[in-house]
Structure 1
Amino acid sequence: MRIVIAEDSVLLRAGLVRLLADAGEDVIAAVGDAAQLIEAVERHAPDLAIVDVRMPPTFADEGVRAAIEVRRRWPGVGILLLSQYVEERYATDLLTGDNGKLGYLLKDRVADVGDFVEAVRRVGDGDTVLDPEVVAQLLARSRRRDPLDRLTAREREVLQLMAEGRTNSAIAHHLVVSDGAVEKHVRGIFAKLDLAPTDHDHRRVLAVLQWLGAP
């Protein structure tokens, strides 16, 4: 099977290439951003694209939006999304349709190499492979009224500290984590509250306003 990998982490990208090559699969391109993914699919016509949901430059939803574009332009290419969390806003769009060849796995729950390779092959063969947590969150989506319900416990904790006026460094000190970990949680908060980057709005303030307005 001919595979394109789109993953911004150099180490993870190299690991996936080696893992799949050892399993006998043909990785024809491995790229680090969404634009390169589109170019690679157009140039190589792969059977499957393995795509990280969050990619440069904003690390919000570039990967999944590129996957949707691939799905629209080349419906015969299978899509296997890898993510740290369930991107509900776009997962439903990807699941729409009856041509299969779709997978959505959470990185933290992929613990067995054999299971991962099997999922890759099943998607390439035309099946749909979804992490049980993805299924659970999508089923619960229709019952949610408050966007804050999308946040993890840690993200809610970070947002509460943001509402107290603390900087990322102060939040990191309070939670005893790195500044990078806080930045990652903040990006997750913005994505889950549908706060896309703009030239006019301050996403940090808008997120805090949603928190303060919650019942």
Structure 2
Amino acid sequence: MINGHLRVVLAEDSVVLRDGMVELLGARGCEVVATAGTAPELLAAVAEHRPDVAVVDIRMPPTHTDEGIRAAVEIRARTAGVGILVFSQHVEAAWASRLLADGAAGIGYLLKERVARTSEFVDALHRVADGGTVLDPEVVTQLMRGGRRRRVDTLTPRERDVLELMAQGHSNRSIAALLVVSERAVEKHVAAVFTKFGLRASDADNRRVKAVLNYLAETVS
């Protein structure tokens, strides 16, 4: 990223949607350096351009099953420093867990129908490019459902709420505002989550998110 200018590779097999996203992102100060309609095109574009972020749809030609997210996992393994934002209509918990297996920093997973404004999407791109984590709540829910639930089931309902908001990248202050409780109460819930998961707490929100998501990813069967 040069002077705040975000370089993006966009993988989307719908030409109409792809062209529209290129125009919208350009108007928001992002540069789409390449577009791809297939997974091999995506891999080639990332290798050539080394973008700040690759935006990836899950289902791409030829089989329209999981080519996109397979390519995202490959990019993650091959090309350090390239953020991955999965942008799809579908939640694929098993593949999401593989994508998160080596850490959640620089990973996003948003559902198309739940992004209400272009500004939300662009903000997510910047957060992922900066090494942050952006996950739709439904993705987190599916990850939690997919795992061996012993430790997750030890959480109280409020601790589970806090965990999901942590996974979305919210700070303690933001969680306190959303749940209408004190920041001190949130700190206690966060500490309880780490204790029950056997994770060491960290002062850095992104490291907290990374640790929690690593645990969730490891427990998805």
Task: Report if TM-score (shorter chain) is over 0.5.
Answer: yes
> Shift of the alpha carbon at 1:99?
6.0
The answer to whether structure 1 residue 28 and structure 2 residue 33 are counterparts is: yes
Letter in 2 for 1:108: E
Instruction: Decide which of 118, 128, 135 is 1:130's aligned counterpart.
Output: 135
Structure 2 portions without partners, runs of 5+: 1-5, 150-221
| Worse overlay, 103-112 or 91-100 | 91-100
Normalised to the residue count of structure 1, the TM-score between the two structures is 0.65
Counterpart secondary structure, 1:26: strand
Counterpart secondary structure, 2:86: strand
> Shift of the alpha carbon at 1:89?
1.6
Q: Check 1:98–1:142 CA distance in 2 against 1; reply closer, same or farther (3 A cut).
A: closer
Instruction: Decide which of 99, 114, 117 is 1:112's aligned counterpart.
Output: 117
* Residue of structure 2 in register with 1:188 after alignment: none
> Shift of the alpha carbon at 1:31?
1.1
Instruction: Decide which of 42, 51, 54 is 1:46's aligned counterpart.
Output: 51
Alignment of 1:150-189 (within 5 A): none
Deviations 1:76-106 (A, max 9, x none): 1000001111111210011112361100001
Counterpart secondary structure, 1:100: coil
* Residue of structure 1 in register with 2:73 after alignment: 68
Counterpart secondary structure, 1:119: helix
Letter in 1 for 2:9: V
Larger relative contact order (C-alpha < 8 A, sep ≥ 6)?
2
Q: Do the aligned partners of 2:104 and 2:133 also contact (CA within 8 Å) in 1? A: no
| Worse overlay, 3-12 or 106-115 | 106-115
Distance in 1 (alpha carbons) for counterparts of 2:76 and 2:147: 24
Structure 1 portions without partners, runs of 5+: 145-215
Normalised to the residue count of structure 2, the TM-score between the two structures is 0.63
| Worse overlay, 52-61 or 96-105 | 96-105
Distance in 2 (alpha carbons) for counterparts of 1:112 and 1:143: 35
> Shift of the alpha carbon at 1:143?
5.4
Q: Check 1:139–1:99 CA distance in 2 against 1; reply closer, same or farther (3 A cut).
A: closer
Distance in 1 (alpha carbons) for counterparts of 2:121 and 2:49: 23
Letter in 2 for 1:105: L
Counterpart secondary structure, 1:105: strand
The answer to whether structure 1 residue 4 and structure 2 residue 9 are counterparts is: yes
Root-mean-square deviation (CA), in Å? 1.2
Counterpart secondary structure, 1:96: coil
* Residue of structure 2 in register with 1:168 after alignment: none
* Residue of structure 2 in register with 1:57 after alignment: 62
